[in-house]
Structure 1
């Protein structure tokens, strides 16, 4: 039994006329009659009563009609899904991101992508940079947003955000009223740092910028997320250097101040595998890259 048998059956059942059904299917009547006979032989029962008054469905034919329509409809839908998946406009994209991307345009980028491609299912997992790299290599993620530019062979990256580190202080700190913070004034302060094990690049960048100011930070606490860094500072447990985007976090009890003569930049990259990406994942990467490129151009034009 083939799908053509269902098409022939449905056409005859809806027209109750072999000639008109053949015209609808753009075929001659004899092959249509043969197809119906083959279907009836396969089922072992008649689907149509034919007499001088015309054609009508038997009880078996009536019972089969809705099922035949459903099967044919599912097949046609499967063809549409397959074409859409091949063109990258439907399917599933698995995205990983570091927490700071919440404040670096990723929600807006994903909203833009979902608006343009509503048939794509997007799932997002918050993961540190190293875990994202591992999961991309294992084909457990399609796209990542990370803090590191150091990637293994077979992976590509594009810079999406570059912004300065700023100082995060408890709201009641003695330096909180100053518009800018000379970094050297924090030499004796306890620091809350991003854990080296989670993001060695960020950990090293903060140590380097402090070294340029002539001191080694007094490490008091190491945490795994930028929001946790800000939250610990809000509790009066230290000071921190954080990406500028974290000033949008809305955590109460802290203030954010620019650092005098700061040269270190906080950077985020979109990363993906060179090969093995599905069409929908590759299409998503291109859309996200374009979104962040346009966002950077808009930001530059405003400054």
Structure 2
């Protein structure tokens, strides 16, 4: 490897020569200076001679009391210190970048998953790697996956049912129970745990496919299998509008996660568990071959903050959507 050099009007200054010069100026002694930079005394002497030869002027003088700077040496010393500081900072920055402790990561939250692992993962990553700039956004699963495929984000929280794409991995991080939500006046409100068969023929408000195409299809298919007929979808609304739509219709129902259902209670709605209890999985998506050290560090944080889920589901639970070939399905 060629030594780092600075060139100006035919003069070539090697940073290793400047480092030797500064070490001698600091220690006032060739031997101690050589030890400080890991050189022998003859080697550091040769570097100073080469530097003086290149500059065409003496930089140091020896006396019985030690080594002193000449006037040329005094003119150079502060500039040499600054140049070495710049080199040290540059090398440290490259080292930090290689270790993933600096840089940039673009992360997209999942709009419907605003608590638990996502917030914990990002908070822990910020704590460990404060110099990494995080560019945060949010979106539904379909939009987040599209952004990842397009290269607009590096890491996205998604519903696992969105499905993997070529080159993209999805880690399952959490499972959420789905419940039926309705107005307090709805007949199903009188039942503590609603048998899924009781949803047959009930007017249903669903989310549009663009939120998560595969989950919407899987949810309707799951309901159809358990009720014996296709669900009666009376309208489609974005997730953040379903509560208001339920209040306006009065007689319709909707499926939500427990977390979203608890929020809907503030709008005057109630929810009931289902038998069997449907569950959905949330996770994180990223490119398998992304070489980013910062992403590698984020994935280590994911492993620690959100350890692998057990294969078995709680008794009486079923996944609405499971990965093809997955052993996880019906439990109990």
TM-score by length of 2: 0.71
Unpaired stretches in structure 1, ≥5 consecutive residues: none
- Structure 2: gaps of 5 or more residues: 1-12, 315-332
User: Can you list the C-alpha shifts for 1:140-191, whole angstroms capped at 9, x where unaligned?
Assistant: 3332221135222222223222222112335x65469644456646945462
Match in the other structure for 2:98: 86
Contact 1:169/1:254, CA 8 A, preserved across alignment: no
In structure 2, do the counterparts of structure 1 residues 256 and 161 end up closer, same or farther at CA, with 3 Å as the change threshold?
Answer: farther
Q: Deviations over 1:233-257 (max 9, x none)?
A: 5864664311223246487314442
Structure 1 pair 286–51 and aligned structure 2 pair: CA distance change class (3 A): closer
* 3-state SS, counterpart of residue 102 of structure 1: coil
User: What's the offset of the Cα at 1:30?
Assistant: 4.2
The answer on 1:292 being equivalent to 2:321 is no
Check if 1:253 corresponds to 2:256: no
The aligned counterpart of 1:27 is 39
Residue of structure 2 in register with 1:107 after alignment: 119
Distance 1:229 1:40, change over 3 A: farther
Equivalent residue pairs, number: 294
* Structure having greater relative contact order (Cα 8 Å, sep ≥ 6): 1
The CA distance in 2 between the partners of 1:235 and 1:69, in whole Å, is: 71
- In structure 2, the CA distance between the partners of 1:165 and 1:229, relative to structure 1 (3 Å rule), is farther
Identify the residue that residue 264 of structure 1 maps to in structure 2: 278
RMSD: 3.6
Residue in 1 that maps onto 2:139: 127
Which of 232, 237, 247 is the equivalent residue of 1:217? 232
> Partner residue of 1:161?
174
Which residue number corresponds to residue 244 of structure 1?
258
**Would you say the 8 A contact 2:167–2:287 is kept in 1?**
yes
Q: 1:199-234, CA deviations, whole angstroms, 9 ceiling, x for partnerless residues?
A: 1123223323443434533333422xx4x1455358
SS at 1:272's partner residue? Answer: strand
Distance in 2, matches of 1:190 and 1:149, equals 22
Task: Decide whether the 8 Å contact of 1:207 with 1:217 is kept in 2.
Answer: no
Q: Distance in 1 between matches of 2:154 and 2:44?
A: 48
